[in-house]
A and B are shown apart, each in its own frame.
Chain A
């Protein structure tokens, strides 16, 4: 891959009616980075993600994904939404769910190819859910569902992976496991993860963007008590997750 940035955001504004949701946001994500976008709820994190996905258009400013317009780059992105956008009781197996990631790449008509099945199985193995292939979604735990969504996203061989609060509904031990998987995936995929949990993700990501309508900081090093107070309006203990077991260098 050449040197175009994975994401280029330049002076972007976004309003919903009279409500300004994003104001003069500019930043760049290089390929291969692992970016955390943090900030309080209502700070515009999900909106920024949807802009990068091309699901909505900015009121003004420029967004480029891998040097293309977001709507054109859509299929090069793997996306894991905050809430599953499907019903858990839908009659579908884990394998069939993961295979849906092949849409847009596989042939239009008829069944999936042998290659699609191979890639789906490889994706499931990568997130350690290969043994669940024939199960339906209904009986899976929250952490397992999250892995299914992750496998579906990576089965489309994306160049960028975007995750919106991937660990919002699961307990902390599983949260660690999922971030270990992401760390592994980051060896070949650019990752952008949205979270409200600044303390936890800072041990995994290479760069943090703090969003509260506008960008307050965008370096992990700059993450000190002063910035956090500015972001959340009150002092917050960064290392409130004491399960952090390895000293990460950024």
Chain B
């Protein structure tokens, strides 16, 4: 029994790592960490509403993540000048809706801390299947549209001149970021999710110089951080999500000090 829940949480960590390695790489190279943060926090609105109506918060999270990705994407394209202010507002509005709906839900009170900071040890097989499915769709899209994602991340003007549907590809990428965030919320919660999304890819980016290699190295680092975090937090009964992030954060800061041996 005890072993089973550990196995489930390790599998959860593994699945989350693939998403954070692949999509985290795009978030880092396209520098959209702040947009991702907005999406992550707005998701609480959808979770709260779903919870209030007695539905699974996971579905609320998926729907809210797509809606907020599209709105935030549209804002960033249309209102470049006030982008950060508007995203900041959407970020807070989403969270407030979530908190109000959760507070007004009849019956016993939900563990709000679980949504905010995650709990990988409570992951169940159904959630794992959902994670697997979301992961597969994100990876399939990445393989199919690798060239286009690279083109719009690297050089938008040129991509446009070559006939790439820049706006559509950009919004699709944000939706994939949104889905990945939903995956990661199970593990570290929505407050810390941006750290898990960006730090493995940022570390990888210091040592390898292609998108593909960054994705692979970031995934491996993700596995290392989630597994290491579970191992370290288990005995002294520390909050797992925070331990994972602390491990990743310290590694990231150290990686900034190390001089890349590959750079000439």
Chain B nearest CB: distance from A9 CB in Å? 19
A92 at the interface (CB under 8 A from B): yes
- What does the 1/0 interface line of B153-178 toward A look like (CB < 8 Å)? 11111110111100000000000000
For the complex, would chain B's binding face be called helix, strand, loop or mixed by DSSP majority? helix
- The CA-CA distance from A101 to B29 in the complex, in Å, is 20
Residue ID in chain B nearest A90 by CB atoms: B154
Q: Decide yes or no: A103 and B214 within 8 Å by CB, A85-B156, A85-B158, A91-B208 being known contacts.
A: no
Residue ID in chain A nearest B211 by CB atoms: A91
A248 at the interface (CB under 8 A from B): no
Interface size on B, residues (CB 8 A): 28
Pairwise interchain contact B163-A100, C-beta atoms closer than 8 A: no
Pairwise interchain contact A81-B205, C-beta atoms closer than 8 A: no
- The CA-CA distance from A88 to B210 in the complex, in Å, is 13
A104 at the interface (CB under 8 A from B): yes
Pairwise interchain contact A136-B163, C-beta atoms closer than 8 A: no
Chain A nearest CB: distance from B156 CB in Å? 7
Chain B nearest CB: distance from A76 CB in Å? 11
Residues in B with CB closer than 8 Å to A106 are 147
Pairwise interchain contact A90-B164, C-beta atoms closer than 8 A: no
| B161 interface neighbour in A79, A110, A111, A139, Cβ under 8 Å | A79
Pairwise interchain contact B145-A75, C-beta atoms closer than 8 A: no
Q: Scan residues 107-138 of chain A and give those whose CB is less than 8 A from a CB of chain B.
A: 108-112, 136, 138
Residue ID in chain A nearest B31 by CB atoms: A87
Chain A nearest CB: distance from B149 CB in Å? 12
| A90 interface neighbour in B29, B143, B158, B163, Cβ under 8 Å | B29
Pairwise interchain contact A100-B264, C-beta atoms closer than 8 A: no
Residues in B with CB closer than 8 Å to A156 are 162
- The CA-CA distance from A94 to B230 in the complex, in Å, is 41
**5 new A-B pairs (CB below 8 Å) besides A81-B157, A106-B147, A110-B143?**
A81-B158, A91-B205, A100-B155, A104-B163, A108-B148
Interface positions of B (Cβ within 8 A of A):
29, 143-148, 150-151, 153-159, 161-164, 205, 208-211, 213-214, 264
A-B contacts, 27 of them at CB < 8 A, read A53-B161, A75-B161, A75-B162, A84-B155, A86-B154, A90-B154, A91-B205, A91-B208, A91-B210, A91-B211, A92-B209, A92-B210, A93-B210, A96-B150, A99-B147, A100-B147, A100-B158, A100-B162, A101-B162, A103-B147, A103-B148, A103-B162, A109-B144, A110-B144, A110-B146, A138-B209, A139-B264
